[in-house]
């Protein structure tokens, strides 16, 4: 049962084929069996999950038809969960029991979902491998020597290995799409402003966006229906008419115009991925889509602009972690400055400190124009590239990542790691919605196809992804967990 | 663009991070590498481009002036490393 | 050498909203520590700001009142620095695009002349919390109740040329803010705070001298003292051949001196950048006009009306409109008593003296406008004389009963009974035969003395006009 999709589980629960308690217990058993190896969860909430499951079963008996009633979910550990430890993957929040719920958590709960626990992640969502987590790296279920991607690596690994039915993630530069690609699952980054950021521990406020990690596009639509919507607590959430994201899933792709950015099929792309994506696109052509090459001339600069804007915003967002009101404080500070400096230096990991340093430098007197302002100008150019492209095409398709999941500890310097996000990062700058769907295997590892649509056109993305999943079965492939575990032991 | 040790120290102080002498060089290298990546931006002319702060042209919403919060001090202060008489305690500020 | 003083003021005013600038916490003064600090105010991870519309309306109201340009597209920025009373590690403020742009304020100087002072800008920002340096186990206590209270920072041009001008500007600003009812603006409570940028330059020199910024000035009186001290200090430094260091100085009211805050000077680099959690505030003409329609009559306009409508002198009008409360008090008194000039005199002299003597605010006065108006009516209808009225006024301080009851109880009613007055006059003529004779001999001015004697004898209760008439009749 645990390998089923959300849609299937909903049907099974509604038909009385199983109960939420049974289902929740099954996932808890799977967690017990595999989390030690995968390290996908930082916190597992077995007791409260079972209590919620019982409540869900009772609610169903009483006639409730909430969309996610009784279905177990895992939340990335940067969503604040009242009464439950919320760490953002950092030592500095090792003891932080959130006094409130994130809007996303609240909505999932209101929809009847059962929270299994909190998933592992790169510290403060800064990373593409999950290795910067203070709680140890999560592993890729397809190969335990490989990273699950990041920063939502724990969520992706948990979904791939059936340690939950669905999970939440956040995407600042690719943090939903890249781990989804690496773990062979479906991940959706909605348009900026589509989902409330209230209660989501900020990395880079103008780029961060929450979205679902799940098994199919159909599930992603169901989850987005629950997550999306304006929130008075988030000034940057957008007030759009309520939309049923499942409504267009079965629309025909006849005449769909697909753009393939030449910059995303260029040097640096693993040739096997190149081939896999082109054959995936050929499947879409068979469904009636027409394909043309497009130009995104400022693609290369997106990563440069991103590594100014994200660290700059982060440098300020992370100033609140100062050892005064909550979180880690160093032992025996001699004075205030010592308390600040040691609490922060001991509480933050290396990558976080590096990005704070970069951001602080980029904003400092004399450098603002050359870095921050310049990056914001590039940001506009990147957005304009996409706007131009969308005059000619309906969706833009390419690889999610240039290579499949890499080995743990293999990225020796930050810059090499940063280049892993080369195809995903521009969307965050432009605020556009994007998805990664499984599109093949390279060296036994799953790879992802990225689909991009224009502002607020999530329904179009989901339609294309769903139609693709009707004619392919990459998303149905499962990692051989016990084998993987044995490999590790050997 | 390479950072000097003095610059590293200045930036670290602004960010309230502790960098030892031995770390300073490594930090300088790490930061300089990233600046190398960033500096590609300088190759393009953006004189006539307006900076973009938010992905979309949206306008700030205004909230009605109403007190919606209740006192949760005792509960919230349980999260604090040190508190007394309802106050958060910090080491004395050395003026 | 002759020096000219150049002053610019940065005034922080706490906007009197019910809730904070970006959260729904209360802003009441004097609450128990940290009971008005919610999860956003404590900068809990994941919390976000939502802007209080009332604060924006108040800022725009101020802007419209001083004829300023209103920012149609204003932007919040983060100002980054670490301090324990600043929970987020940045203050949300407005750098390049403030809500209120250039405007002006006209002040009246001691010699009666008027001077227009430029206001550079006024921007919204969050207040910080408070650090309590009393000893808590050798540590500092942090109270974040104040953190996030909306502030309007009003920055003047360096147009002020003396401490007195600075005080006149500050008082005018205070007056307008009180008229607009956008802040309590009580300096002693910190709801209005003033920093002064002070420099001096040789008379005739165009270029400004190096300035110092004086902080922590918490009364109008101290503004004058602190600036005067600082100007003298700068003169002394220059006369001794030294040079002025650009720095922040703290005013110590106890010692009446400013002193350097060197520790704060360590390379502040605030790394401002646009606050990504907030979007631009867009203000259209309709919004501005709607706010303009709510503006009360401001002191200058009101003063002019007092001159034209009530026939007051410009000076009296200026005194009466200095605060909205005083002007309201006067107008109520004038209307109820039917005599604006008498009302103006009583309010600006007797009442003002009373407030000064006791250090009262207007609303603390035991004599409110209704009772004062009644007193004036009793002068006008000859129930009491102007002189007796002073006695009644004094009695009203300790006796809250109505004016007539006090006059009655104290037997202060004017004697108008002609029989009683005639016997009084007869008695005075009999006791002062010489003066009576002098009058009869044509020295008519002596009548004043005789009236005075009658008044004295009646303990002021005789109606002086009637006495005068009877005296003239009896002596002719």
Cβ of B15 and A414 within 8 Å?
no
Cβ of A322 and C49 within 8 Å?
no
Contact list, A206 vs chain B (CB under 8 Å): 53-55
CA distance C99 to C76: 9
- Is residue A416 within a helix (H) or strand (E), and if so which, with residue range? helix A414-418
C 151-190 near B (Cβ less than 8 A)? none
pLDDT tens, residue by residue, A61-104: 999 999 999 999 999 999 999 999 999 999 999 999 999 999 99
Secondary structure letter of residue A486 according to DSSP: H
pLDDT band of A486, cuts 50, 70, 90? very low
pLDDT band of A309, cuts 50, 70, 90? very high
Q: What share of chain B is helix, strand, coil (3-state, %, to 5)?
A: 40, 10, 50
Lookup: tokens for C339: 């005599």
Q: Are C27 and C18 in contact (CB under 8 A)?
A: yes
pLDDT tens, residue by residue, C383-409: 888 888 888 999 898 888 888 888 888
Residue A304 known to be catalytic: no
Residue A48 known to be catalytic: no
CA distance A357 to B27: 9
Interface contact C461, partner A, CB < 8 A = no
Which residue of C16, C24, C78, C278 to mutate against B (max B Cβ within 10 Å)?
A: C24
Q: Which of A151, A152, A237, A299 is catalytic?
A: A151
What sign does the dihedral B87-C136-B89-C89 (CA atoms) show? positive
Interface contact C238, partner A, CB < 8 A = no
Cβ of B53 and C132 within 8 Å?
no
Q: Which range has the worst mean pLDDT, A267-281, C47-61, C330-344, C392-406?
A: C392-406
User: What's the confidence (pLDDT) of residue B95?
Assistant: 53
pLDDT surpasses 90 at A483: no
Q: Are C164 and C109 in contact (CB under 8 A)?
A: yes
Q: Are C221 and C52 in contact (CB under 8 A)?
A: no
- A186-189 and A114-119: which strand pairing? unpaired
The residue with tokens 């209660």 is: A199
Of A100, A315, A364, the CB nearest to C39: A100
The residue with tokens 């003891």 is: A95
Higher pLDDT, C257 or A198: A198
Considering only CA atoms, which of A1, A290, A323 is closest in space to residue B79? Answer: A323
The Cα-based distances of A2 to A264, A445, C228 in angstroms read 36, 22, 79
Secondary structure (H, E, C), chain C: CCEEEEEEEEEEEECCCCECCCCCCECCCCCCCCCCCCCCCCCCCCCCCCEEHHHHHHHHHHHHHCCCCECCEECCEEEECCCCCCCCCEEEECCCCCCECCEEEEEECCCCCEEEEEEEEEEEEECCCEEEEEEECCEEEEECCCCCCEEEEEEECCCECCHHHHHHHHHHHHHHHHHHCCCCCCHHHCCEEEEEEEEEEECCCCCCCCCEEEEEECCHHHHHHHHHHHHHHHHHHHHCCCCCCCCEEEEECCCCEEEECHHHHCCCCCCCEECCCCCCEECCHHHHHHHHCCCCCCHHHHHHHHHHHHCCCHHHHHHHCCCHHHHHHHHHHHHHHCCHHHHHHHHHHHHHHHHHHHCCCHHHCCCCHHHHHHHHHHHHCCCCCHHHHHHHHHHHHHCCCCHHHHHHHCCCCCECCHHHHHHHHHHHHHHCHHHHHHHHCCCHHHHHHHHHHHHHHCCCCECHHHHHHHHHHHHC
CA distance C109 to C114: 6
Q: Tell me how far apart the terminal alpha carbons of chain C are, to the nearest angstrom.
A: 72
Name C462's bridge partners.
C415
Interface contact C51, partner A, CB < 8 A = yes
Considering only CA atoms, which of A79, A99, A81 is closest in space to residue A89? Answer: A79
Q: What is the mean pLDDT of residues A16-26?
A: 98
CA distance C379 to C338: 11
User: What's the confidence (pLDDT) of residue A372?
Assistant: 96
pLDDT tens, residue by residue, A157-210: 999 999 999 999 999 999 999 999 999 999 999 999 999 999 999 999 999 999
pLDDT tens, residue by residue, A419-464: 889 999 999 999 999 999 999 999 999 999 999 999 999 999 999 9
Residue C31 has phi, psi (to 5 degrees) of: -75, 160
pLDDT surpasses 50 at A485: no
- Is residue A156 within a helix (H) or strand (E), and if so which, with residue range? helix A153-160
Of B55, B60, B92, the CB nearest to A192: B55
pLDDT band of C462, cuts 50, 70, 90? confident
pLDDT tens, residue by residue, C42-53: 999 999 999 999
In chain C, CATH 1.10.10.410 covers 418-475
Name C26's bridge partners.
C19
User: What's the confidence (pLDDT) of residue A487?
Assistant: 45
Q: Tell me how far apart the terminal alpha carbons of chain B are, to the nearest angstrom.
A: 36
With a CB cutoff of 8 Å and minimum separation 6, the contacts of B7 are A361, B28
Q: Nearest C-alpha of chain B: how many angstroms from A96? A: 7
Strand order of the β-sheet with C212-217 is: C103-108, C114-126, C150-156, C3-14, C192-202, C212-217, C248-252, C257-260
Considering only CA atoms, which of A222, A223, A218, A219 is closest in space to residue A210? Answer: A223
Q: Which CATH number does C418-475 carry? A: 1.10.10.410
Q: Which of A10, A20, A128, A175 is catalytic?
A: A175
User: What's the confidence (pLDDT) of residue A449?
Assistant: 98
Interface contact C140, partner B, CB < 8 A = yes
Q: Nearest C-alpha of chain A: how many angstroms from B65? A: 14
pLDDT surpasses 90 at A137: yes
> Other C-beta atoms within 10 Å of C257: how many?
15
Q: Are A391 and B60 in contact (CB under 8 A)?
A: no
User: What's the confidence (pLDDT) of residue C469?
Assistant: 86
Question: C236: burial class by Cβ within 10 Å (0-12, 13-18, 19+)?
Answer: exposed
The residue with tokens 């110092």 is: C212
Of B16, B72, B89, the CB nearest to C38: B72
Question: C261: burial class by Cβ within 10 Å (0-12, 13-18, 19+)?
Answer: middle
User: What's the confidence (pLDDT) of residue C265?
Assistant: 47
Of B69, B73, B84, the CB nearest to C24: B69
SS3 A394: coil
Residue A213 has phi, psi (to 5 degrees) of: -120, 125
Secondary structure letter of residue A405 according to DSSP: P
Q: Are A400 and A447 in contact (CB under 8 A)?
A: yes
Of B34, B54, B72, the CB nearest to A358: B34
With a CB cutoff of 8 Å and minimum separation 6, the contacts of A68 are A6, A10, A108, A111, A112, A113, A166, A222, A223, A226
CA distance A365 to A347: 27
pLDDT band of C262, cuts 50, 70, 90? low
With a CB cutoff of 8 Å and minimum separation 6, the contacts of A84 are A43, A45, A48, A97, A98, A115, A118
pLDDT band of C336, cuts 50, 70, 90? very high
Interface contact C131, partner B, CB < 8 A = yes
Interface contact C30, partner B, CB < 8 A = no
> Other C-beta atoms within 10 Å of A43: how many?
18
Could you tell me the fold of the domain covering B5-42?
Answer: Histone, subunit A (1.10.20)
- Is residue A337 within a helix (H) or strand (E), and if so which, with residue range? helix A336-347
User: What's the confidence (pLDDT) of residue A490?
Assistant: 37
Tell me the CATH architecture of domain A6-254+466-489.
Answer: Alpha-Beta Complex (3.90)
Cis ω for the linkage preceding A151 (within 30 of 0): yes
User: What's the confidence (pLDDT) of residue C267?
Assistant: 59
Interface contact A309, partner B, CB < 8 A = no
Q: What proportion of chain A, given as a percentage, has pLDDT over 90?
A: 95
Sketch the domain layout of chain B as residue ranges.
5-42
SS3 A57: helix
Interface contact C281, partner B, CB < 8 A = yes
Q: What is the mean pLDDT of residues B34-49?
A: 92
Name A169's bridge partners.
A211
pLDDT tens, residue by residue, A212-270: 999 999 999 999 999 999 999 999 999 999 999 999 999 999 999 999 999 999 999 99
The Cα-based distances of C326 to B23, C22, C112, C316, C331 in angstroms read 66, 34, 20, 12, 9
User: What's the confidence (pLDDT) of residue B1?
Assistant: 62
SS3 A439: strand
Which residue of B1, B13, B30, B34 to mutate against A (max A Cβ within 10 Å)?
A: B34
Higher pLDDT, A93 or B6: A93
Most confident of A107-121, B43-57, C449-463: A107-121
Which residue of B15, B51, B70, B73 to mutate against C (max C Cβ within 10 Å)?
A: B73
CA distance C45 to C380: 70
Residue A349 has phi, psi (to 5 degrees) of: -85, 175
- Is residue A116 within a helix (H) or strand (E), and if so which, with residue range? strand A114-119
Contact list, A209 vs chain C (CB under 8 Å): none
CA distance A141 to A481: 6
Lookup: tokens for A49: 């999950």
Q: Please, how many CA atoms are within 13 Å of residue B33, restricted to the half-sphere of its CB?
A: 15
pLDDT tens, residue by residue, A28-51: 999 999 999 999 999 999 999 999
- Is residue A24 within a helix (H) or strand (E), and if so which, with residue range? helix A20-38
Name C143's bridge partners.
C130
Q: Please, how many CA atoms are within 13 Å of residue B89, restricted to the half-sphere of its CB?
A: 15
Nearest CA in chain C to A335: C139
C156-188 as b/e: b if 16+ CB within 10 A: bebbbebbebbbbbbbbbbbbbbbbebbbbebe
Helical H runs in B17-93?
Answer: 21-38, 73-77
User: What's the confidence (pLDDT) of residue B26?
Assistant: 86
Contact list, B82 vs chain C (CB under 8 Å): 139
**CA B40 remoteness from chain centre:** 24
Residue A151 known to be catalytic: yes
User: What's the confidence (pLDDT) of residue C419?
Assistant: 81
Q: What is the mean pLDDT of residues C224-251?
A: 94
User: What's the confidence (pLDDT) of residue B30?
Assistant: 87
pLDDT surpasses 90 at B94: no
């Amino acid at each position: 049962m645990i390998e089923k999709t959300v849609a299937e589980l909903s049907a099974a629960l509604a038909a009385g084929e199983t109960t939420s308690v049974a289902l929740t217990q099954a996932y808890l058993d799977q967690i017990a069996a595999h989390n030690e190896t995968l390290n996908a969860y930082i916190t597992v909430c077995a007791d409260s999950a079972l209590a919620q499951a019982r409540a869900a079963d009772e609610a169903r008996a009483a006639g409730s038809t909430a969309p996610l009633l009784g279905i177990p979910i895992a939340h990335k550990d940067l969503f604040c969960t009242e009464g439950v430890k919320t760490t953002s993957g950092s030592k500095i929040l090792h003891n932080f029991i959130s006094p409130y719920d994130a809007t996303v958590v609240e909505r999932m709960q209101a929809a009847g979902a059962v929270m299994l626990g909190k998933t592992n992640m790169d510290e403060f969502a800064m990373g593409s491998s999950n290795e910067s987590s203070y709680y140890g790296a999560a592993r890729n279920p397809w190969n335990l020597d490989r990273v699950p991607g990041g920063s939502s690596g724990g969520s992706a690994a948990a979904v791939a290995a059936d340690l939950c039915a669905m999970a939440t993630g956040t995407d600042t530069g690719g943090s939903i799409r890249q781990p989804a690609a690496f773990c062979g699952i479906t991940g959706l980054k909605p348009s900026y402003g589509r989902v409330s950021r209230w209660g989501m521990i900020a990395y880079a406020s103008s780029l961060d966006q929450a979205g679902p990690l799940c098994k199919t596009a159909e599930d992603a639509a169901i989850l987005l229906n629950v997550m999306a919507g304006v929130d008075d607590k988030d000034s940057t959430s957008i007030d759009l008419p309520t939309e049923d994201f499942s409504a267009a899933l079965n629309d025909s792709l006849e005449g769909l115009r697909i753009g393939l950015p030449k910059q995303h099929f260029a040097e640096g792309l693993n040739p096997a991925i190149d081939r896999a994506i082109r054959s995936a696109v050929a499947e879409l052509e068979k469904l009636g889509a027409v394909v043309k090459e497009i130009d995104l001339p400022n693609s290369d600069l997106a990563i440069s602009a991103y590594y100014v804007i994200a660290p700059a915003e982060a440098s300020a967002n992370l100033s609140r972690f100062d050892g005064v009101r909550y979180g880690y404080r160093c032992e025996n500070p001699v004075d205030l400055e010592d308390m600040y400096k040691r609490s922060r230096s001991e509480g933050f990991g290396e990558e976080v400190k590096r990005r704070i340093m970069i951001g602080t430098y980029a904003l400092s007197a004399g450098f603002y124009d050359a870095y921050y302002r310049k990056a914001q100008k590039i940001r506009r150019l990147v957005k304009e590239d996409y706007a131009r492209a969308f005059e000619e095409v309906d969706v833009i398709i390419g690889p999610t990542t240039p290579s499949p999941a890499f080995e743990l500890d293999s990225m020796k310097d930050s810059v090499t790691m940063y280049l892993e996000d080369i195809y995903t990062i521009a969307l965050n700058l432009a605020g556009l919605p994007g998805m990664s769907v499984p599109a093949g295997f390279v060296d036994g590892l799953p790879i992802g196809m990225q689909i991009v649509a224009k502002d607020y056109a999530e329904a179009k993305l989901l339609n294309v992804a769903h139609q693709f999943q009707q004619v392919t079965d990459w998303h149905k492939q499962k990692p051989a967990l016990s084998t993987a575990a044995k490999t590790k032991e050997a | 663009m390479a950072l000097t040790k003095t610059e590293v120290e200045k930036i670290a102080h602004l960010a309230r991070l502790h960098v030892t002498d031995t770390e300073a060089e490594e930090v300088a290298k790490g930061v300089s590498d990233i600046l190398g990546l960033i500096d590609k931006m300088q190759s393009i002319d953006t004189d006539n481009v307006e900076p973009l702060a938010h992905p979309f042209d949206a306008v700030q919403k205004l909230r009605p002036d109403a007190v919606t919060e209740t006192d949760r001090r005792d509960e919230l202060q349980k999260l604090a490393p040190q508190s007394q008489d309802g106050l958060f305690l910090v080491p004395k500020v050395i003026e | 050498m002759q020096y000219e003083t150049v002053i610019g003021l940065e005034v922080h005013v706490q906007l009197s909203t019910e809730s904070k600038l970006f959260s729904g916490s209360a802003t009441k003064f004097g609450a128990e520590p940290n009971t008005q600090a919610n999860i956003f105010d404590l900068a809990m991870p994941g919390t976000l700001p939502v802007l209080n519309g009332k604060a924006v309306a108040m800022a725009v109201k101020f802007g419209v009142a001083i004829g300023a340009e209103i920012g149609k597209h204003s932007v919040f920025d983060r100002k980054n620095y670490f301090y324990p009373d600043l929970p987020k590690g940045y203050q949300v403020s407005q750098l390049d695009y403030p809500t209120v742009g250039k405007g002006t304020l006209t002040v009246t100087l001691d010699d009666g002349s008027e001077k227009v002072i430029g206001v550079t800008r006024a921007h919204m920002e969050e207040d910080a919390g408070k650090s309590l340096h009393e000893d808590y186990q050798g540590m500092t206590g942090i109270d974040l109740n104040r953190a996030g209270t909306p502030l309007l920072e009003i920055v003047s041009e360096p147009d002020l040329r003396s401490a007195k001008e600075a005080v006149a500007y500050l008082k005018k600003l205070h007056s307008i803010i009180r008229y607009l009812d956008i802040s309590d603006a009580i300096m002693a409570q910190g709801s209005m705070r003033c920093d002064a940028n002070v420099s001096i330059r040789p008379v005739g020199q165009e270029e400004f001298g190096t300035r110092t910024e004086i902080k922590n000035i918490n009364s109008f009186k101290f503004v004058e003292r602190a600036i005067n001290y600082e100007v003298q200090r700068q003169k002394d430094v220059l006369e001794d051949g030294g040079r002025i260091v650009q720095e922040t100085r703290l005013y110590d009211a106890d010692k009446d001196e400013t002193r350097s805050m060197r520790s704060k000077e360590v390379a502040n680099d605030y790394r401002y950048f646009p606050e990504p959690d907030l979007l631009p505030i867009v203000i259209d003409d309709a919004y501005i006009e709607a706010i303009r329609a709510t503006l009360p009559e401001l002191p200058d306009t009101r003063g002019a009306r007092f001159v034209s409508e009530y026939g007051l002198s410009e000076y009296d009008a200026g005194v009466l409109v200095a605060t909205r409360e005083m002007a309201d008090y006067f107008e109520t008194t004038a209307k109820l008593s039917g005599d604006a000039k008498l009302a103006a005199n009583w309010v600006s002299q007797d009442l003002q003296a009373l407030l000064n003597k006791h250090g009262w605010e207007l609303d603390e006065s035991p004599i409110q406008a209704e009772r004062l108006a009644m007193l004036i009516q009793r002068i006008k209808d000859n129930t009491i004389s102007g002189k007796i009225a002073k006695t009644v006024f004094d009695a009203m301080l300790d006796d809250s009963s109505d004016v007539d009851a006090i006059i009655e109880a104290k037997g202060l009613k004017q004697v108008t009974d002609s029989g009683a007055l005639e016997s009084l006059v007869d008695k005075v003529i009999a006791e002062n035969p010489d003066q009576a004779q002098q009058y009869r001999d044509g020295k008519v001015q002596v009548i004043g003395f005789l009236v005075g004697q009658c008044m004295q004898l009646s303990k002021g209760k005789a109606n002086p006009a009637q006495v005068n008439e009877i005296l003239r009749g009896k002596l002719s």
